[in-house]
């Protein structure tokens, strides 16, 4: 591709992106294709000769687009949002065009220095104290893995990386069953092992970890000769928004000398609103925190903010400095590749900088407050419907509900059928979960472009799903 063609197709792609965003409401939220349908339309062998971009672009629109679920759709209420605010997309155009590897300060000084500054902006916006420093990870999974590796190394006196785990005491990490499965993976990858992830019972309105049970588990493990290493608490768990008592968890950790990591991947963004900070009261005593601006703040994936109180422990755990990666003649600089598991790093800070400057904290707070208000109104409306019940009350903009089935029908099967009926119509997209072993339907408002009418439309889509079941 020559420079003129690059210019032409760059304009074409930008125009396509704008047209796509403008027409999202006209599209079904979830892909309506059958399994294997897209693959069947793609040749089994690669082309030997190059093809014109006009043909490739046409195939993209004809073959690929119908198989896409539209995560930026204003009526996407499934999972958690993976927002890409338009201004963030523009920043990503620039990052992609430059194609820089930002692993070291010297490989792009602006990327490092902007990351330092913009993460401190975010720290201030969240109300975190000065002692926290931030780094942008690709996802919360990587941030949590980094935290687990640090808690492992601290507990073992920094011997895990050098000696391995075979000759060490059996490590133990504590979390409730409400935490995300990324915690399980971090335990696997770190070598600690699933058997040593101790699950603490949870309960109450916010399904919080039982603090007395946590303390007892730690004491029992010590008596059994195990080595407690850390606690992973959650704020806004994926299933139904489970939220631990962070201050109480940190107090237990302090008594036993344990590391605390707080997974606030979704809900953490809401802490830019001071009125929601009670959900993580005491977080200043945690050792590390993760939240994803690519979920609820509008930064295009991937952009996960990882805050730590002691960056030296993170660097001591992860940094490797062969000669070719050393930065000579510069003291006191940060090489963020030493704060992360991957060596390569994209220029992720630029989209966060664009986003915060373009919308301001007031604009982002307004969006989050609206989502919380609109979700609460929808929950109240569903609760008033006959044959429906709210299973878990709204935690910010997330709640779960179920429909009571006709007599003689299985409740779980009925609600799974209802989710399928709703999603197959394409007007909205919901997902299911299990609460205390029973199927419930999740709703969360979080799409960057959602309006009050979009959230209200979910009520009619749910009723339409019920009618479809009744007439089937």
Which tens digit of pLDDT belongs to each residue from 261-275? 999 999 999 999 999
Q: Is residue 297 a part of any domain in this protein?
A: yes
Q: What is the DSSP letter of 406?
A: P
Q: What is the pLDDT of residue 321?
A: 67
Question: Residue 446's domain is classified under what CATH number?
Answer: 3.90.1150.170
Q: Are residues 271 and 402 in the same domain?
A: no
Q: How many beta carbons lie within 10 A of that of residue 318, not counting itself?
A: 17
User: What distance in Å separates the CA atoms of residue 121 and residue 124, rounded to the nearest whole number?
Assistant: 5
Q: Are residues 336 and 400 in the same domain?
A: no
User: What distance in Å separates the CA atoms of residue 180 and residue 437, rounded to the nearest whole number?
Assistant: 17
* pTM over 0.85, yes/no: yes
Q: Is residue 210 a part of any domain in this protein?
A: yes
Least confident of 84-88, 131-135, 320-324: 320-324
Q: Is residue 6 a part of any domain in this protein?
A: yes
Which tens digit of pLDDT belongs to each residue from 429-456? 999 999 999 999 999 999 999 999 999 9
- Taking 50 as the threshold, does the pLDDT of residue 17 lie above it? yes
Q: What is the DSSP letter of 48?
A: S
Chain-centroid distance, C-alpha 1: 36
The domain boundary, picked from 346, 375, 408, lies at 346
Q: Is residue 64 a part of any domain in this protein?
A: no
Partners of residue 444 on adjacent β-strands: 398
Chain-centroid distance, C-alpha 52: 38
Collapse the DSSP code of 20 into the 3-class scheme (helix H, G, I; strand E, B; otherwise coil) and give the result. Answer: helix
Q: Are residues 10 and 151 in the same domain?
A: no
Domain count, the chain: 2
Q: What is the pLDDT of residue 324?
A: 46
- Taking 50 as the threshold, does the pLDDT of residue 235 lie above it? yes
Q: Is residue 35 a part of any domain in this protein?
A: no
- Taking 50 as the threshold, does the pLDDT of residue 173 lie above it? yes
Query: Could you give the percent of the chain with pLDDT greater than 70?
Result: 97
| Residue 189: domain span | 100-346
Question: Residue 145's domain is classified under what CATH number?
Answer: 3.40.640.10
**CB contact set of 331 (below 8 Å; sequence gap of 6+):** none
**H or E element, residue 295:** helix 293-296
Q: Are residues 258 and 385 in the same domain?
A: no
Collapse the DSSP code of 366 into the 3-class scheme (helix H, G, I; strand E, B; otherwise coil) and give the result. Answer: helix
The domain boundary, picked from 303, 322, 346, lies at 346
Q: What is the pLDDT of residue 326?
A: 55
Phi, psi of 73 (to 5 degrees): -65, 135
* Nearest CA among 114, 89, 90, 91 for reference residue 102: 114
Q: Give the DSSP per-residue string, 339-386.
A: GSS-S----THHHHHHHHHHHHHHHHHHHHHHHHHHHHHHHHHHHTST
Q: Are residues 202 and 270 in the same domain?
A: yes
Q: Are residues 267 and 325 in the same domain?
A: yes
- Taking 80 as the threshold, does the pLDDT of residue 86 lie above it? yes
User: Measured at the alpha carbon of residue 257, what is the angle toward residues 254 and 260, in degrees to the nearest 5?
Assistant: 70
Q: Are residues 300 and 407 in the same domain?
A: no
Mean pLDDT of the chain: 92
Q: Is residue 47 a part of any domain in this protein?
A: no
Q: Is residue 394 a part of any domain in this protein?
A: yes
- Taking 80 as the threshold, does the pLDDT of residue 472 lie above it? no
Which tens digit of pLDDT belongs to each residue from 320-330? 765 445 554 44
Q: What is the pLDDT of residue 328?
A: 41
Which tens digit of pLDDT belongs to each residue from 402-421? 999 988 889 999 999 999 99
User: What distance in Å separates the CA atoms of residue 288 and residue 299, rounded to the nearest whole number?
Assistant: 21
Q: Are residues 260 and 395 in the same domain?
A: no
């Amino acid at each position: 591709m020559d420079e003129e063609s690059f210019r032409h197709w760059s304009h074409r792609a930008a125009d396509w992106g704008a047209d796509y965003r403008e027409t999202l409401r006209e599209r079904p939220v979830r892909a309506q294709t059958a399994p294997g349908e897209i693959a069947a339309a793609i040749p089994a062998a690669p082309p030997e000769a190059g093809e014109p971009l006009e043909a490739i672009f046409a195939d993209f629109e004809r073959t690929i687009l119908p198989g896409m679920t539209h995560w930026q759709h204003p009526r996407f209420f499934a999972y958690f949002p993976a927002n890409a605010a338009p201004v963030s997309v523009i920043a990503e155009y620039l990052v992609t065009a430059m194609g820089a590897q930002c692993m070291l300060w010297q490989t792009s000084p602006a990327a490092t220095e902007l990351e330092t500054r913009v993460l401190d902006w975010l720290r201030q916006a969240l109300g975190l104290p000065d002692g926290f420093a931030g780094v942008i990870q690709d996802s919360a999974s990587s941030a949590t893995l980094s935290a687990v590796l640090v808690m492992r190394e601290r507990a073992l006196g920094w011997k895990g990386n050098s000696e391995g785990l075979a000759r060490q005491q059996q490590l133990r990490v504590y979390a409730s069953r409400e935490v995300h499965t990324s915690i399980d993976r971090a335990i696997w990858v770190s070598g600690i092992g699933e058997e040593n992830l101790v699950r603490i019972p949870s309960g109450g309105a916010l399904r919080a970890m039982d603090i007395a049970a946590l303390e007892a588990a730690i004491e029992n493990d010590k008596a059994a000769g195990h080595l407690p290493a850390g606690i992973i608490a959650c704020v806004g768990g994926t299933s139904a928004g489970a939220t631990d008592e962070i201050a109480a968890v940190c107090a237990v950790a302090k008594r036993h000398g344990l590391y605390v990591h707080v997974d606030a991947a979704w809900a953490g963004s809401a802490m830019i609103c001071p009125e929601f900070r009670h959900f993580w009261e005491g977080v200043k005593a945690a050792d590390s925190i993760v939240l994803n601006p690519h979920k609820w703040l509008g930064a295009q994936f991937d952009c996960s903010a990882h805050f730590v109180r002691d960056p030296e422990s993170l660097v001591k755990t992860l940094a490797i400095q062969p000669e070719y990666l050393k930065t000579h003649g510069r003291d006191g600089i940060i090489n963020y590749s030493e704060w992360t598991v991957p060596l390569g790093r994209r220029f992720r800070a630029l989209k966060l900088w664009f986003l915060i400057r373009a919308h301001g904290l007031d604009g982002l707070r307004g969006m989050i407050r609206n989502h919380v208000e609109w979700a609460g109104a929808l929950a109240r409306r569903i609760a008033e419907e006959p044959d429906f019940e709210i299973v878990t009350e709204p935690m910010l903009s997330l709640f779960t509900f179920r429909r009571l089935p006709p007599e003689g029908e299985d409740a779980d099967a009925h609600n799974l059928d209802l989710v399928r009926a709703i999603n197959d119509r394409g007007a909205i997209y919901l997902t299911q979960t299990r609460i205390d072993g029973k199927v419930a339907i999740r709703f969360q408002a979080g799409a960057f472009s959602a309006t009050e009418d979009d959230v209200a439309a979910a009520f009619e889509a749910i009723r339409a799903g019920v009618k479809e079941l009744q007439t089937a």
